[in-house]
Amino acid sequence: MVSKRKKKYSTGEGAQFMTRKAALKKLQLSLNDFRRLCILKGIYPREPRNRKRAQKGQSGIKTLYHVKDIQFLLHEPIIWRLRDYKIFNKKVGRARALKDFENLKRYLNSHPTLKLDHIVKERYPTFIDALRDLDDCLTLCFLFSTFPSIAHVPRDQSALCQRLTMEFLHIVIEAKALRKVFISIKGYYFQAELKGQTITWIIPHHFSFEPQQKSEVDFKIMSTFVEFYTILLGFVNFRLYHGLNLHYPPKFVSMSPNSNEKLLVDEDIFVAERVNALNVSLLKTSDAVDEEIEIDNFNSEDGPENIEDAKKEAENIKKLKTLFKGLKFYLNREVPREPLVFIIRCFGGEVSWDKTLFVGATFDENDESITHHIVDRPSVSKQYISRYYVQPQWVFDSVNARDLLPVNKYFMGEVLPPHLSPFIDKDRDQQYIPPEERALYDPSILEEQHKKDAMEMEDQDEDEDSDDDAKEENESPETENTKKKGKLSVTTGEVYKEIPWEKDRQEKQAYRLREKMIKKKHRKLYKSMMEGRKDRAKEIWLLRKKRRLHDEKKAGEKPIKKKQKAK
């Protein structure tokens, strides 16, 4: 019996992929609703191995999706809610056109609402999964918290982002989970460790909002992401607050506003302002025991070196949590308040500012117990002898160094040392390392180790020479007779000296042999890796050259300045 011939593109990549146009037709959705649904469900376009087969022989480049992903969307209840929105808009538009205000009011009071709780649970089955995917969520929510009321963004979305992000910062403060900080042109980078998961996010600089052209940024798509991220961050905050035995929504230890404050603001606004200040401890549901790292109990499968490294890291983190304990900081008017208050309180310090600038100040400028005054100006009219006047970078560099750095390099008006990123591994390969960063790694230790090795080699050679001399002196006539007779004898061995160029030649030969062993399907990948390595080496060479020219120019300017001063 002859088997039936299969239809073309019914199997393989032709049956696995679907174009966006076909997906819209299958789901019966508009393009905007389809985009919104894909963002909420976490479905993205796919790149096939063979585009011509995936597009069923059609030319050009089209947006393709997996057929299984589109079939998965068919059973999503959000689709029906999006269709309800479409019906709702038609009814409202018709009632407004006919000036039927009675029905219009009834429609607006019973408008459909979109709930995303089940999607959060579906995409993140466990709490750890949600923490792992929190980087983009926090970065986008902090960005939207700085936006004013703009088009294509719901009215209350920015306020909601601000509330949720401030609540998250309070969690990091209470848990003392902050590990690394860095200032860049994009904003402030922060890295915290919660439940064993490393979370990194960016807080933008507080500049005035500049409107963007519609062609540059699509705020509608970004707002759809934020719509999902606010639900996710709300769940995470709720779980973390209860894990730390804190009330949620946040409550304060002492809530006793003055009579004047009671007349000016209501309780909700009073609490919200103090939450944004980040300077008040939160009320706990019960006396919680601080979780400390057990440095004596580690997995027996780990090696002794790993156990020692883990113990050292645990001790360093324990010391880091109390870095600013016992110190009192005062922030000047021009200093960015929010990031510095967050950092100082994460490490046990006390902080305050001018109470006319923002609520939440705990002490005034004339307090004699202030140890550090953070200033970003060349001079201050009134100074106190009992405190240090330092620039804000001292706080960031001290956190990254995990120790209180000397303040003399950060005094008012001083040229600051380079602010190095803590997110780069110092043992990295094929990356440019500035001279200032190399100096931090203390190369003198390496030189001392080389000297120590050389001394040990010299001592070993001297011991061998002395042993040979002693053997020659202690030789008796009997031993000479035994040598003459050709019996058992012991001769001193020759020291084998390695030839450096021969060793390099053998390593290069072995490297070329390993290259020939690469499989054919991996050769293109290997070639691209080698090209990338060459490009990185060239970039390092160019940066070193640029730094050398800069240092030469700077060295040439110093004598000119000295001559001008002498005149």
Where residue 357 sits, what CATH number does that domain have? Answer: 3.40.50.10190
At residue 427, the pLDDT reads 64
Rounded CA-CA distance 507/528 in Å is 22
User: Comparing C-alpha atoms, which of 85, 77, 236, 92 is closest to residue 172?
Assistant: 236
Average pLDDT over residues 315-328: 89
Task: Please give the average per-residue pLDDT across 437-443, as a whole number.
Answer: 62
Task: Give one DSSP letter per residue of 95-126, joined into a string.
Answer: HHHHT-HHHHHHHHHT------HHHHHHH-SS
- 123 and 256 in one domain? yes
The answer to the question of residue 520 being in a domain is no
Q: Which amino acid is at 211?
A: P
pLDDT band at 166 (very low <50, low <70, confident <90, very high): very high
| Last residue of one domain, picked from the residues 376, 396, 416 | 416
Q: Are residues 254 and 181 in the same domain?
A: yes
Whether pLDDT at 30 is above 50: yes
275 class by beta-carbon count within 10 Å (0-12 exposed, 13-18 middle, 19+ buried)? buried
Tell whether 30 and 141 lie within a shared domain.
no
447/225: higher pLDDT = 225
Question: Do both 41 and 160 map to the same domain?
Answer: no
* Residue ranges making up the domain that contains 136: 117-207+218-277
Distance of CA 201 to the CA centre of its chain: 5
- Burial grade of 407 (CB within 10 A; 0-12, 13-18, 19 or more): middle
Residue 485 or residue 60, greater confidence: 60
Q: What average pLDDT does the segment 90-108 reach?
A: 91
Q: Do 270 and 147 lie in a common domain?
A: yes
* Selection from 435, 463, 254 nearest residue 360 by Cα: 254
Tell me: pLDDT of 477 over 60: no
Inside any domain, residue 286: no
Q: What is the mean pLDDT of residues 444-471?
A: 52
Distance CA 337, CA 351 (A): 10
Query: Which segments within 166-297 are labelled E, that is strand?
Result: 178-183, 187-194, 197-204
Residues 43 and 132 in one domain: no
Helix (H) or strand (E) run with residue 240 in it? helix 219-243
Residue 21 DSSP one-character state:
H
Work out the pLDDT band at 441, boundaries 50, 70, 90: low
250 is written with which tokens?
């946040």
Residue 252 confidence (pLDDT) above 80: no
With cut-offs at 50, 70 and 90, classify the pLDDT of residue 473. low
Q: Which residue has the tokens 């620039």?
A: 391
pLDDT at 203 over 90: yes
The whole-angstrom distance between residue 227's C-alpha and the CA centroid of its chain comes to: 22
What is the maximal distance between C-alpha atoms in the chain?
Answer: 132
Question: For residue 347, what pLDDT is reported?
Answer: 93
**Token pair 């460790």 in the structure block, residue:** 193
pLDDT at 262: 47
Which position has the higher pLDDT, 256 or 323? 323
Per-residue pLDDT, averaged over 439-450, amounts to: 53
Question: Quick check: is 562 in a domain?
Answer: no
Higher pLDDT, 385 or 465: 385
Reported as a pLDDT band with limits 50, 70 and 90, residue 65 is very high
Backbone angles phi and psi of 203, in degrees to 5 = -110, 120
Round to the nearest angstrom and report the end-to-end CA distance of the chain: 109
| C-alpha to C-alpha distance for 306 and 303, rounded to whole angstroms | 5
Kind of pairing between the strands at 372-374 and 178-183 = unpaired
Judge whether 250 and 206 are in contact, CB under 8 Å. no
Most confident of 190-204, 295-309, 458-472, 537-551: 190-204
Flag whether pLDDT at 315 surpasses 50: yes
Q: What is the tally of structural domains in the chain?
A: 3
Distance CA 101, CA 108 (A): 10
Tokens representing 181 are 């900080």
Average pLDDT, the chain: 82
Taking residues 197-208, report their average pLDDT.
90
Instruction: Tell me if residue 565 falls in helix, strand or coil.
Output: helix
Q: Tokens 């800069």 label which residue?
A: 550
DSSP category for residue 522: G
Whether 567 is in a domain gets the answer no
Share of the chain above pLDDT 70, in %: 82
Q: Quick check: 505 pLDDT over 90? A: no
Asked if residue 169 belongs to a domain, the reply is: yes
Long-range residue pairs from 423-430, CB within 8 A, at least 24 positions apart, any chain: 423/180, 423/182, 423/189, 423/191, 423/200, 430/533, 430/536, 430/537, 430/540
Tokens of residue 190, six digits: 């922060």
- Domain end residue (candidates: 253, 277, 301): 277
Q: Tell me, yes or no, whether 309 lies in a domain.
A: no
pLDDT band at 23 (very low <50, low <70, confident <90, very high): very high
Of 191, 165, 193, the C-alpha closest to 180 is 191
Q: What share of the chain is helix, strand, coil (3-state, %, to 5)?
A: 55, 10, 40
* Residue 179, Cβ density class (10 Å: 0-12 exposed, 13-18 middle, ≥19 buried): buried
Token digits for 475? 């030789």
Domain check: are 127 and 192 in the same one? yes
pTM for this one?
A: 0.76
Quick check: is 377 in a domain? yes
Between residues 556 and 448, the one the model is more confident about: 556
Contacts of 436 (CB under 8 A, 6+ apart): 417, 418, 420
Q: Band the pLDDT of 35: cuts 50, 70, 90.
A: very high
pLDDT in tens, 264-311: 445 667 677 777 788 888 888 776 545 544 444 555 556 677 788 788
Q: What is the crossing angle of helices 157-175 and 267-277, to 10°?
A: 60
Give me the phi and psi of 511, to 5 degrees please: -65, -45
pLDDT, residue 449, reads 44
Q: Which residues contact 179 (CB under 8 A, 6 or more apart)?
A: 191, 192, 193, 198, 317, 320
Same domain, 336 and 263: no
> Is 269 inside any structural domain?
yes
pLDDT at 451 over 80: no
Residue 483 has pLDDT above 70, yes or no: no
**Same domain, yes or no, for 321 and 402?**
yes
Matching residue, tokens 């006539």 = 477
pLDDT in tens, 366-401: 888 999 999 998 888 888 998 999 999 999 999 998
Beta strands in 259-408 (DSSP E): 328-331, 350-352, 372-374, 388-390
Say which range, 71-85, 143-157, 216-230, has the weakest mean pLDDT.
143-157
- For tokens 């902090």, what's the residue? 142
What is the spatial distance between Cα 5 and Cα 16, in angstroms, rounded to a whole number? 19
Arithmetic mean of pLDDT, 225-246: 93
What mean pLDDT is predicted for residues 43-54? 90
In a shared domain, residues 128 and 273? yes
Length of the chain: 567
Q: List 199's β-bridge partners, or say none.
A: 192
Beta carbons within 10 angstroms of residue 375's beta carbon = 23
Q: For residue 17, with 0-12 CB atoms within 10 Å meaning exposed, 13-18 middle and 19 or more buried, which class applies?
A: buried
Higher pLDDT, 173 or 477: 173
Residue 50 CB partners (closer than 8 Å, separation 6+): 13
Check pLDDT > 60 for residue 193. yes
Of the residues 56, 76, 96, the one at which a domain ends? 76
Residues 394 and 269 occupy one common structural domain = no
- For the record, the structure tokens of 435 come out as 């001279």
Locus of tokens 């997995």: 299
Window from 50-64, 109-123, 487-501, 508-522 with minimum mean pLDDT: 487-501
Helix (H, G, I), strand (E, B) or coil at 214: coil
**Do residues 199 and 265 both lie within one domain?**
yes
